[in-house]
Amino acid sequence: MPKHYRPAGKKKEGNAARYMTRSQALKSLQVNLNLFRRLCIVKGIFPREPKKKVKGNHHTYYHVKDISFLQHEPLLEKFREIKTYQKKVQKAKAKKNEELARLLLTRQPTYKLDRLIRERYPTFIDALRDLDDCLTMVHLFAVLPASDRENLEVKRVHNCRRLSHEWQAYISRTHALRKVFVSVKGIYYQAELEGQKITWLTPHAIQQVFTNDVDFGVLLTFLEFYETLLAFTNFKLYHSLNVKYPPILDSRLEALAADLYALSRYIDASSRGMTVEAKVDASSSSQSNDRAESELRLAQLQHQLPSSEPGALMHLVADKEVEEDEETRACKSLFKDLKFFLSREVPRESLLFVLPAFGGTVSWEGEGAPFKEDDESITHHIIDKPSAGHMYLSREYVQPQWIYDCVNARVILPTEKYLVGRIPPPHLSPFVDNEAEGYVPDYAETIKRLQAAARNDVLPLPGVGKEDLEDPQNLLYAGVMSRAEEAEAAKTKKKMAELEKQYHEELKKEVTGSAVDDVAAAPVVEGGDGEESSVPDAAQIAQDTADMPTLMMSRKKRKLYDAMKIGQKKKSESVERIKQRKKNLKADQ
Amino acid sequence: MTKKKSEGANEDQTIETKKKSVSAVKSQKEKPVVAKQSLSGSLNSDDFDSDVFDSEDDASQRETEGGGKDSSEDELELHGHEGSDDDDEGEQVDSENEGSEEREVAEESDSSEDEVAPRNTVGDVPLEWYKDEKHIGYDITGKKITKKEKQDKLDSFLANMDDSKNWRKIYDEYNDEEVELTKEESKLIRRMLKGEAPHADFDPYAPYVDWFKWDDAIHPLSSAPEPKRRFIPSKWEAKKVVKYVRAIRKGLIKFDKPEEEPNVYLLWGDDSASDQKSKHLTYIPPPKLKLPGHEESYNPSLEYIPTEEEKAAYELMYEEDRPKFIPKRFTSLRSIPAYENALKESFDRCLDLYLCPRVRKKRINIDPESLKPKLPSRKDLRPYPNSCYLEYKGHTGAVTSVSPDCSGQWIASGSADGSVRIWEVETGRCLKVWQFKEPVKCVAWNPLPDFPILAVAIGQDLVILNTELGTDEEQQKIEELLRLGTLPEQDEAVAAIVSWLPDETYGGIKIKHFKNISYVDWHPRGDYLSAVMSAGETRGVVIHQLSMHKTQRLPIKMRGLPVCTLFHPTHRGMFIIATKKNVRVFNLQKRELAIKKLETGLREISSMAIHPGGDNLIVGSKEGKMCWFDMDLSSKPYKTLKNHPKDITNVAFHRSYPLFASCSEDSTAYVFHGKVYSDLNENPLIVPLEILRGHSTSSDRGVLDCKFHPRQPWLFTAGADSVIKLYCH
């Protein structure tokens, strides 16, 4: 810690002793700003807000404990070592000693971040809790072009790509995916792992552009940490599935850029391989070394299975898993008996991830696909063209949005609105609580009715047969019926509310009216016209009555109250605006 | 197979020719150079090398000439070998062989030296000396060698393209001729490029032949004795070895590459072990990003998309107010473009993560209504004025001041139009009118019931008016009081600022002051009367004694501009003065400094009222705040209420009911319940009861005065709209 002069027996106390500015921290750590930033990023140290800012408002304050935490970090030493080593290399280069420089570069000191990860996230749950940013970043870098200028190597991009695929393969395999939302920014996914909701954003699979206003140094430092974190997380997850990590992929599929498919096959294969192996080796457990090897061979054998055999994937998925909650089961069986075929123009990676996660069987147009387009058992053909060429009668041609909407609604929606060439119904965010927001879009209501109808079907009720559910027309009809009922209910509710309001007003009048009656009883009134103005309207009185207690609030509470009121007003205003727009749109039609 | 056969035949032929050439060489043996050549055996190709590439001096050129011819024959022989070895070259080699055969035949036919092209003899000089000449140099006889004609470039190019051997041709600038490399030569060049010995047969690692040792040698080559170093091990070597051994033992030198540790492993093996508390500060997890709403969808409902006008309105906004995200609609998934801010947003998030101070904040998720304090029901606090019962109309200007008489039967009012009126409270009948020339600032009714006189402040004058109410006996007394006989001696200082005069028009007393009077207040006993002149500064407050017709200045020094004054209702000598910022309490009898100073914390005090009990005081200010002071408790306000958006013009306490009121320029009046308990431990109870509206604003002024009825819970308000209102319960 920096030593300042202070009179003997006087200790620095309070905020002055507990917090230090950034430049003080740099001085005490004897590092430059760049290194300090890197350390802060990997160590997860952030500035804190002291109650009293001793040095002024325009400084960044760090807690003294945080800085001493950094000071005892072995990585700091390592970074210093690297720095001096770099100087050696530079010296060799400056002396035109290329050979020495090359030799030195091959022996560069390296560092590892695993200990830091363990330190920052003592339990696995902690790591999962903070995984959102990590996943978003890794998925973003997986689609970035490698760039010399920004010091972004191909190796790292590939690593990001591999990690993201591994993650997706796990999520898909364990059916942990819960929500998908296609936004303008990319595709949001939400998965639930060990009770943690993990949301991440993957950019659309289109060439990304570099902008000039970002500092890649910072981004890459973050990426370095995130890559390590995700690798360890993946290891743990794969370990829980009894699958070897890092996975060994079918090179043929990898070459065809069907990494995800290759991975899922690997997981399926090796997890089954393990179970088989466990049975076999129960008696002869001595050859553990052999076992790993044979397991590997088995896994590789699995890869060599004819890839056009769709059942291989499906029946493996059907392996019973011990801990499965209600929701996972629901997710698993959403697309259970459906077979999908993806056209060339649909976002293949996303759908290859989503469909198996909800129990569907997928194939695509291109090499390495498990089954071909002319397969008779295909039930849905996902297509994103204005019109399909040759159409098979046995399958439905739907737009990709149908899948996402089905996933979010957890029911198989009627496909007729999503058929080829039509403009699909609005895609709604699954992350919004419509009731709390105060505005429910029309399509959300439709979906709700369909969900209710689906639930009715599961509980055998008289009147709603199975064929009713299967026929989308009937389903819609049911929806309409319930809609009419709902409208009626709303009407009665409104009437009730009106009556109630009237009653309240009358009560209020009674309260104020006693005086009014007195006035009426009073004999002569000069300036009779004054009477109307002197009796204010009921709304004003109500307002006054409501405002009266605010006079007695303390200033702090009053400010809080006002702020809350402003917030509520803003929210209701935005809802009003949307409603107004809707009204205008209806008027235009 | 057939080809091979033919090649075999060729070979036979070449063997034959070789024999011939050997014989030829033998025939020319008299030339020493040739002899040397044959001695070195297969070195002949070296000569070619020198011929083509090295511009050797002329003499050696001449010498090797014969050999050159000779070696060309050798070359032929080699070709033959090549052809037999290589299956691939086949045809070409064959044809070559044939060609060379022909040439050989030609050579054999006449092998005179005249046929050889003239060799240049200029020596090792820069060739550019001859650049502009017609000759390239001189031959051995001293004749000029003329330059060859330059071929047309196009022709030469075409010829080159047609010629399959073109790649082997090299232009020799020195002799101005084109030299075609033989196959052997090109191989030689290739070998040299590789860094091998030029000749194929040369063995660089031939077994060593020790010329200096032979079996029957008698004498050693050197008679020097064997040096010692040959026998003892090297000390330095030993040192070096020891050094290495130590390094190895210490582990500084490792022979095999360190085993690569696996990059990833099971980091969180057993979570139960890690539940010990970390010694570090608590970790504050970063807030998660906001989840996208419906409007961020690629295909949102139509109502989420702003209209063109709204988008145009966004353009006009400040950049920070502008919405960050404007919803867009794409009708199909394939038409979504790349999101241009993806990197930027990711970067911003990173910055937030490591640069923003993180604070754990408690977010209250409550209904704002629950913050409101629970107030006692207003029904229980009745009676209080809540509705307008009567209006007193008659003034033509803003009513600046009202004052009810102590019986509650009459009310006096003064207006900006210069009139003072007396009204009957219950009927609203205007009883009397006095008209003055200047606007009336303040009216105040004498608090004694048997002295119905009125103090009116008009400009610089304070007029005591006889209202001519009450019985004859009372009237007599009043007239006696108001008759100015011989005036008592006044102080000089007082005489300078105040003079007592009889009022001619209405028969009262007129007390003329040196500045405009802003406020008048009676002592509860009705004999004394204080007048405040805001502009009078230190002399701004004077106290008149009506019975003695005498005026006193304040015996104490004033600080600040006086705003209003009060006589304490119970304590005789206590006098309260409000200056712009503070309120001071004096004891007039003891003539000492202020007993108490109340710090209001207000910007500008406008009015003040005291509870009839005498311990509580309310102060109204021009910023719309009202302070309640419990004078026994503290010099700081017990409660500050911010109820009016505009200036408070007046505050008032009810004489008997626990009520107080404030009126303001925003043309409202508030009525509060203000109960003071006799138990000193209990704080006063303040409950807002009613907001009285009804006055209209005229020329930016609202309600100018409010007073309670002395007996009933009624409130009089005087408005700038020239109306007086009576609010009843």
For the stretch B5-49, pLDDT in tens is 444 444 444 444 444 444 444 444 444 433 344 334 443 444 444
Residue pLDDT, tens place only, B191-227:
999 988 888 888 888 898 888 888 888 888 888 888 9
- Cα–Cα distance list, B632 to B38, B224, B583, B680 (Å): 140, 128, 14, 9
Whether chain A has a CB inside 8 Å of the CB on B246: the answer is no
What is the domain partition of chain B in residue ranges?
2-194, 379-728
Q: What pLDDT does B194 receive?
A: 92
Kindly state the tokens that stand for B608. Answer: 């003040």
Q: How many angstroms from the chain centroid is the CA of residue B647?
A: 41
Give A68-72 contacts, CB < 8 A, sequence gap 24+: A68/A1, A69/A43, A69/A45, A69/B280, A70/A25, A70/A29, A70/A39, A70/A40, A70/A43, A70/A45, A71/A28, A71/A29
Q: Is the pLDDT of residue B373 over 70?
A: yes
More confident residue, B374 or A269: B374
More confident residue, A523 or B681: B681
Strand intervals (E) in B591-722: 596-599, 605-610, 616-621, 625-630, 639-642, 648-653, 659-664, 669-675, 685-692, 703-708, 715-719
Lowest-pLDDT range of A20-24, A545-549, B258-262, B711-715: B258-262
Rounded to two decimals, the pTM is 0.64
Contact B632, B623 (CB under 8 A): no
- Cα–Cα distance list, B74 to A491, B45, B70, B124 (Å): 118, 9, 7, 29
Q: Is the pLDDT of residue B92 over 50?
A: no
Identify the sign of the CA torsion A314, A320, A323, A329. Answer: positive
Q: At B670, is the secondary structure helix, strand, or coil?
A: strand
Nearest to A340 by CA among A353, A327, A323: A353
Strand intervals (E) in B74-160: 135-138, 144-146
- Tell me which chain B residues have a C-beta less than 8 angstroms from the C-beta of A423: 331-332
Probe site for chain B from A208, A551, A553, A574 (most B CB atoms < 10 A): A551
Please list the alpha-helical segments (H only) found in B180-256. 183-194, 235-250
Q: What HEC string does A515-532 produce?
A: HHHHHHHCCCCCCCCHHH
Residue pLDDT, tens place only, B377-395:
888 888 888 888 888 888 8
Q: How many angstroms from the chain centroid is the CA of residue B327?
A: 25
In chain B, positions 268-287, which contact chain A (CB-CB < 8 Å)? 268, 271, 274-275, 278, 280-281, 283-286
Facing A123 at nearest CB: one of B268, B341, B428: B268
Q: At A361, is the secondary structure helix, strand, or coil?
A: strand
Contact B49, B67 (CB under 8 A): no
Probe site for chain B from A348, A529, A534 (most B CB atoms < 10 A): A534
In whole angstroms, give the CA distance from residue B89 to residue A323.
75
More confident residue, A514 or B240: B240
Give A515→chain B minimum CA distance, Å. Answer: 6
Q: What pLDDT does A293 receive?
A: 46
Q: What pLDDT does A317 receive?
A: 39
Facing A122 at nearest CB: one of B274, B375, B690: B274
DSSP for A234-286 reads HHHHHHHTT--SSPPP-HHHHHTT-HHHHHHHHHHHHHHHHHHHHHHTTT--S
Q: Is the pLDDT of residue B349 over 90?
A: yes
Residue type, A543: Q
Chain A with chain B: Cβ pairs closer than 8 A: 310
Closest residue in A to B686 (Cα) is A552
Lowest-pLDDT range of A313-322, A354-363, B241-250, B482-491: A313-322
Q: What pLDDT does B64 receive?
A: 40
Lowest-pLDDT range of B92-96, B332-336, B482-486: B92-96
């006993």: which residue's tokens?
B525
Facing B291 at nearest CB: one of A47, A182, A431: A431
Q: At B541, is the secondary structure helix, strand, or coil?
A: strand
Average pLDDT over chain B, rounded to an integer = 79
Nearest to B705 by CA among B434, B414, B430, B467: B414
Strand order in the sheet with B605-610: B605-610, B616-621, B625-630, B639-642
B296/A429 Cβ within 8 A: yes
- Tell me which chain A residues have a C-beta less than 8 angstroms from the C-beta of B296: 183-185, 429
Mean of pLDDT values over B512-533: 88
More confident residue, B444 or B42: B444
Q: At B271, is the secondary structure helix, strand, or coil?
A: helix
In chain B, positions 602-641, which contact chain A (CB-CB < 8 Å)? 641
More confident residue, A462 or B429: B429
Q: Would you give the DSSP letter of residue A415?
A: G
Nearest to B449 by CA among B481, B410, B402, B476: B410
Strand intervals (E) in A32-175: 61-63
Residue type, A189: Y
Residue B408: how many other CB atoms lie within 10 Å: 16
Strand order in the sheet with A196-202: A177-182, A187-193, A196-202
* Percent helix, strand and coil across chain B, each to the nearest 5: 30, 25, 45
Strand intervals (E) in A385-494: 396-398
Whether chain A has a CB inside 8 Å of the CB on B262: the answer is no
Kindly state the tokens that stand for B218. Answer: 């008698």
Q: What pLDDT does A16 receive?
A: 86
Q: How confident is the model at residue B82 (pLDDT cuts 50, 70, 90)?
A: very low
Contact B509, B501 (CB under 8 A): yes
Whether chain A has a CB inside 8 Å of the CB on B293: the answer is yes
More confident residue, A92 or B526: A92
Facing B356 at nearest CB: one of A46, A117, A120: A46
Kindly state the tokens that stand for A45. Answer: 């140290």
- Cα–Cα distance list, A69 to A25, A47, A63, A77, B260 (Å): 11, 13, 10, 13, 30
Q: How confident is the model at residue B141 (pLDDT cuts 50, 70, 90)?
A: confident
**Class of B379-728 per CATH?**
mainly beta
Residue B259: how many other CB atoms lie within 10 Å: 6
Residue pLDDT, tens place only, B194-204:
988 888 888 88
Q: Are strands B574-579 and B648-653 parallel, antiparallel or unpaired?
A: unpaired
Q: Is the pLDDT of residue B102 over 80?
A: no
Strand intervals (E) in A348-419: 361-364, 380-382, 396-398
Lowest-pLDDT range of B6-20, B196-210, B309-323, B412-426: B6-20
Quote the percentage of chain B above a pLDDT of 90: 18
Facing B339 at nearest CB: one of A69, A204, A345: A204
Whether chain A has a CB inside 8 Å of the CB on B343: the answer is yes
Phi, psi dihedral angles at B670 (to 5 degrees): -105, 140
Q: How confident is the model at residue B355 (pLDDT cuts 50, 70, 90)?
A: very high
- Cα–Cα distance list, A373 to A352, A378, A401 (Å): 16, 8, 20
What is the dihedral angle through the alpha carbons of A38, A42, A43, A44, rounded to the nearest 10 degrees?
Answer: 100
Give, for all 589 residues of chain A, the pLDDT tens digit.
555 667 777 777 888 889 999 999 999 999 999 999 999 999 999 999 998 898 899 999 999 999 999 999 999 999 999 999 999 999 999 999 999 999 888 888 999 999 999 989 988 999 999 999 999 999 999 999 888 888 899 999 999 999 999 999 999 988 999 999 999 999 999 999 988 999 999 999 877 888 888 999 999 999 999 999 999 999 999 998 888 888 877 666 666 656 677 777 777 776 654 443 333 333 333 334 444 444 444 444 444 443 333 333 333 434 444 456 788 888 888 888 899 999 888 888 899 899 999 998 998 887 778 888 888 889 999 998 888 888 888 888 999 999 999 999 999 999 988 998 888 999 999 999 888 888 889 899 999 999 898 887 554 444 444 444 444 444 444 444 445 455 556 666 666 767 667 666 666 665 554 444 443 333 333 443 444 444 557 788 888 888 888 888 888 888 999 999 999 999 999 999 999 999 999 998 8
In whole angstroms, give the CA distance from residue A220 to residue B335.
31
Q: Which residues does residue A381 pair with via DSSP β-bridges, in sequence order? A: A341, A397
Facing B303 at nearest CB: one of A211, A215, A578: A578
Nearest to A173 by CA among A258, A242, A255: A242
